[in-house]
Amino acid sequence: MTTTDKSLRIGDVAQLLGMSVDTLRYYEKINLLPAVNRTPSGIRLYYKKDLSRLRFIQRAQKMNFSLAEIGDLLKMREDPQNVRDEVRSLTASKMQEVEEHLAELTSLRNEMQLLLNLCRGSKDGCPIIEEINSAEIDADDR
Amino acid sequence: MNVKVEVFSAPGCNSCGQARQVLKSLTEEMGSGHFEWREVNILDELDYAVEMGVFATPAIAINGELVFTGQTSKDTLRKALQDLLPGKQS
């Protein structure tokens, strides 16, 4: 950390990242976040590096990784060249999961883009979506 | 081997019919025996259309590869098809 690093208090971080202050304290308690710097009066101060780590945790949680797995991935993030083989192997396996998820998301995005493009230019609502909806209703009725 | 042509269309797509007509007349002109073509209704085969990379209609795939999206001139289509006919391949 440098002296030019701007620090944030726990309430600001909670608001910025959409996390509760309890969650932030809990992450520190279970060592997902190293002991946060504090002012002489004990107020927590979060720096850029802490925010980066917290954002990583958030992203990993969106992938449904467990806190234990996230802890291991954070070790890899801290010191990629000196981690245990199990951590390296876990990272490779989680990367594969992310790749698969990414492929699914890309496909979903492309499908939505295609449907939106088909609707574009239609003044009378969206015939494409209506047709899909009526096909689904027909299927449900069967 | 026949050239496989697929035209991706959708309900409400005004220029899809035109693309279909152009392709039909071109394949007749070049010998319909060389072509195997079908129309793909995107709503019936949405997964396939997405997999092929279709983002708009009409779209044309030749031999399993998306080559044209939107309105395409007859000359451009003719050239693309001619290049794939027997005796034209490198």
Measuring CA to CA, which residue among B64, B73, B66, B55 is closest to residue B18? Answer: B73
Q: Which residues of B touch A122 (CB under 8 A)?
A: 12
Q: Cβ contact (<8 Å) for A128 and B46?
A: no
Contacts of B64 (CB under 8 A, 6+ apart): B4, B52
From A107, A114, A132, residue closest to B54, measured CB to CB:
A114
Q: Compute the C-alpha angle B77/B81/B82, nearest 5°.
A: 115
C-alpha closest to that of B50 among A130, A95, A118: A118
One digit per residue, pLDDT tens: chain A, 142 residues?
544 579 999 999 999 999 999 999 999 999 999 999 999 999 999 999 999 999 999 999 999 999 999 999 999 999 999 889 999 999 999 999 999 999 999 999 999 999 998 887 555 556 555 555 565 556 656 5
Separation between Cα atoms, residue A17 and residue A32, nearest integer Å: 16
ipTM: 0.79
Return the amino acid letter for A106: T
Distance separating alpha carbons of residues A21 and A108, to the nearest angstrom: 34
pTM of the model: 0.73
- Report d(CA A82, CA A19) in Å as an integer: 31
